Structure formats: structure tokens, C-alpha cells
Amino acid sequence: MRNKVLREGVLVSRRTILLALCGVPAGIGLLPRLAVAAPAVAADDPRVHVQLLTIDNGAGGLQSYAAVPATDRGQLTSIIVAHDALGLTPHFEDVARRLATAGSFAVLVPDYASRYGGTPAEPMPAHEVVGMTTWDEWLADTRSALGWLARQPRSNGKVAAIGFGLGGSALSRIMFQLNELTSGVIFYGRAPPLENVSKIAASLLLNYAGDDRLVNPQRAAFEDALKKAGVSYQAFVYEGAKHGFEDDTVSSTYSKDAAELAWERTMDFLKETTA
């Protein structure tokens, strides 16, 4: 029982509490994945080549999903996608394919739960397993992913990262240690320790949900720190949208208008900052 605590008469996992502290509102990671739309880019779409691979990370291997344009677009900018609290789900595979078909991008989605056997298929076990990860493990695995991307023959040497929810919180926290990054996009991730903000070298795009009681109280202080440090950034708040609004496989939080606008801004930002 050491991994459980009693809260208002309910037995609650310490990992659930940890995820809440990391920017995942209670219950978000436990919501069933309900498909409300077909994948934006099908897995067998002829415009994209995909593969499952395992990258050496010195800890049993980093399971990953990669997507690149099928046609020759010359050298490609690399993009790492940091998944949310439910791990490497089909939604983030779709995100990778969307990015690969929308620009000259080679996209890699690491499974940050790989050290613990990989992302389980069901939401509740996935939430628990991803919650076992530490910031140091996210940093080490991101570095392994960056190393793999840098070795690819089509790489142009430029690297960006996109993080969602817990992945956004992780990216904002470790980004100051990743000077390879040209730019970063954070969807409803919590702010990092403010003393590290001045060390961030990448340009940032921050996409916030208007209805997000855990992330939003930190926004003002984070933006103040970015301004004082002279970090190049853009921030947008999507009023009425909930934490997780980009994910069209969760009908209770998905916001079509907010997701489409945020995606448009994300693509414009990535093309501008990695040109």
C-alpha cells in the first residue's frame, strides 16, 4: 500500500498525484480514447514513410515511431514529438504523419515509457506507467532521440520539438539543457523552474487552453521570465478550450476550432524558425 494514499475517502495512486503536479488535471489521463475523427493522415498514406524502431538509450532501448515524407524533399528538419500522460498512442503517430506530410520534416515520437516496458494499450495502465518516468529520464531519452536524428543522412542539422500536456511540461523543464533545439512548441505544459528560463536558447510557441486551472496560474510568471531573459516566444490562449484540446481522440476535451488554429500557428512557426 506504499504507492497509494487516501484522499477524501478514496484510494489514489501517488503517480496520479504526481501527474497532477506535473500539469495533468485530475482524470485527464484516465479519459477513454474515443475516436471522434479518422486519422488526419492514414498509416498507409502514400505521401509518408513510417517505421517502428528502437534507439539505443543505454536503458533497454527507446521504442519510437518515425515518419518522413515519401517524396524527395531534399534535406529535412528533424522534429521530436513528446507525447502526453497516456504515452505513445495512435494519436501521436498521426501527429507525426501530419507533420511529415505538411512540411520538409523528419519526425520522431519516442515512447518515454520504454524503460518501463512501453506504453500499455489501455488508458489507465498507460497513465500509471508513464507516471513512473522522471525528468532525468525524459532528458536522457530526448538526447538519445536527438542523436539518432542527427545521424540520419537526410538531416539538415536543424531540430525542433513539440510537447503536449505532460510532454510539454517535460520539454519546458529540460529545454535549457538541449541547446541543439532551434525551436519548441508547448501545448498546455506547465512552466519550468523560473531560474532556468534564462538558459533557454530555442524560440518558443506556447499554446494554452483557456480552461486549464493547473497550467494557467503559472503563465504570467513564465512569460515575465521569458521577457526578462530575452527569449523569443509567442503565446496564445484558446478561450473556452480545455487541457488536451488538440487531441481529437478524446471527445470530452477536443475543440475543433482551437485545435485547427493552434495547428496552423504551429506549422507557420516551425517553418519560420527552421527555414
**Please, what are the domains in the chain?**
4-273 (3.40.50.1820)
In the chain, the N- to C-terminal Cα span, in Å, equals: 53
Query: How confident is the prediction along the chain (275 residues), in pLDDT tens digits per residue?
Result: 233 322 233 333 434 444 444 444 443 444 444 444 679 999 999 999 999 999 999 999 999 999 999 998 899 999 999 999 999 999 999 999 999 999 889 999 999 999 999 999 999 999 999 999 999 999 999 999 999 999 999 999 999 999 999 999 999 999 999 999 999 999 999 999 999 999 999 999 999 999 999 999 999 999 999 999 999 999 999 999 999 999 999 999 999 999 999 999 999 999 999 98
Task: Say what the pLDDT of residue 38 is.
Answer: 79
Of 64, 88, 48, 76, the C-alpha closest to 145 is 64
For 224, half-sphere exposure in the C-beta direction (CA atoms, 13 angstrom radius) is: 8
Q: What is the 3-state secondary structure (H, E, C) of 134-163?
A: CHHHHHHHHHHHHHHHHCCCCEEEEEEEEE
Instruction: Tell me how crowded residue 11 is: count the other CB atoms within 10 A of its CB.
Output: 9
- Across 32-67, b (16+ Cβ under 10 Å) vs e yields ebeeeeebebeeebeebebeeeebebeeebbbbbbb
> What backbone phi and psi angles, to 5 degrees, belong to 174?
-100, -5
Residue 102, Ramachandran bin (φ over 0: left; ψ between -120 and 50: alpha; else beta):
alpha
Task: Say what the pLDDT of residue 72 is.
Answer: 85
Residue 122 contacts residue 130 (beta carbons within 8 Å): no
CA angle 26, 219, 82 (to 5 degrees): 60
Task: Say what the pLDDT of residue 275 is.
Answer: 86
CA angle 262, 265, 192 (to 5 degrees): 70
Residue 183 one-letter amino acid: S
Question: For the chain, give me the number of helices (H) and strands (E)?
Answer: 7, 10
For 66, half-sphere exposure in the C-beta direction (CA atoms, 13 angstrom radius) is: 17
Residue 71 one-letter amino acid: T
Task: Say what the pLDDT of residue 37 is.
Answer: 61
Residue 69 contacts residue 100 (beta carbons within 8 Å): yes
